[in-house]
Chain A
Amino acid sequence: MPSLEHIANLVHDWLNAQFSPGLALFFEFFIIGVLIIGLFSILGLVLIMMERKVSAWMQLRLGPNRVGPKGMFQTVADTVKLIVKEGMTPDGVDKLLFNLAPFIVMIVAMVIMAPLMFAKNFQIWDINIGVFFITAISSLSVIGILMAGWASNNKYSLLGAMRSGAQIVSYELSAGFALLTIVILTGDLKISAIVNAQSDGWWIFKGHLPVWIAFVIFMIAVTAETNRAPFDMAEAESELTAGFHTEYSGMKFALFFLAEYVNIFVVCALGATLFLGGWQPLHFGTGTGFNRVMDYIPSSIWFAGKTFFLIFVIMWFRWTFPRLRIDQLLNLEWKYLLPISMFNLLLATLITIMGWHF
Chain B
Amino acid sequence: MAFLKKYFSNIFQAIRSLTTGMRITAGYALRHGKEKITQQYPDNKKTLVLPERFRGEVVLTHDENNEHACTGCTACELACPNGTIKIITKFDVSPEGKKKKALDTFIYHLELCTMCNLCIEACPTNAIRMAQTFEHSVFDRNKLTKKLNNPGSKIREGVE
Contact = CB atoms under 8 A, between A and B. Distances in A.
Q: Answer yes or no: do A and B interact.
A: yes
Interface of A: 54, 56-62, 65, 316-317, 319-321, 336, 340
Given A60-B31, A336-B11, A316 B26 contact: yes
Nearest to B20: A320
Given A54-B29, A56-B32, A61 B22 contact: no
B35 to A, nearest CB: 6
A62 B21 contact: no
Nearest to A220: B18
Contact of A60 (B22, B26, B32, B40): B32
Interface string B21-40: 11011101101100111101
Contact of B21 (A54, A56, A320): A320
Contact of A61 (B11, B21, B31, B37): B37
A316 B25 contact: yes
A54 B25 CA distance: 10
27 contacts: A54-B29, A57-B29, A57-B32, A58-B25, A58-B26, A58-B28, A58-B29, A59-B28, A59-B37, A60-B28, A60-B31, A60-B32, A60-B36, A60-B37, A60-B38, A61-B36, A61-B37, A62-B38, A316-B26, A316-B29, A320-B22, A320-B24, A320-B25, A321-B18, A321-B21, A336-B11, A340-B11
Report whether over half of chain B's contact residues are helix, strand or loop; otherwise say mixed: helix
Contacts of B37: 59-61
Contacts of B35: 60
Given A57-B32, A65-B40, 17 more contacts: A57-B28, A57-B29, A58-B26, A58-B28, A58-B29, A59-B28, A60-B28, A60-B38, A61-B38, A62-B36, A316-B22, A316-B26, A319-B25, A320-B21, A320-B25, A321-B18, A321-B21
Range class of the B interface residue count: 10 to 19
A316 B31 CA distance: 15
Nearest to A339: B7
Contacts of B40: 62, 65
B18 to A, nearest CB: 7
A61 B35 CA distance: 9
Interface string B6-21: 0000010000001001
Top 4 nearest A-B pairs (CB, nearest first) are A57-B32, A57-B29, A62-B38, A58-B25
Interface in B32-52: 32, 35-38, 40
Nearest to B24: A320
Contacts of A56: 32
A320 B17 CA distance: 11
B11 to A, nearest CB: 7
Contacts of B11: 336, 340
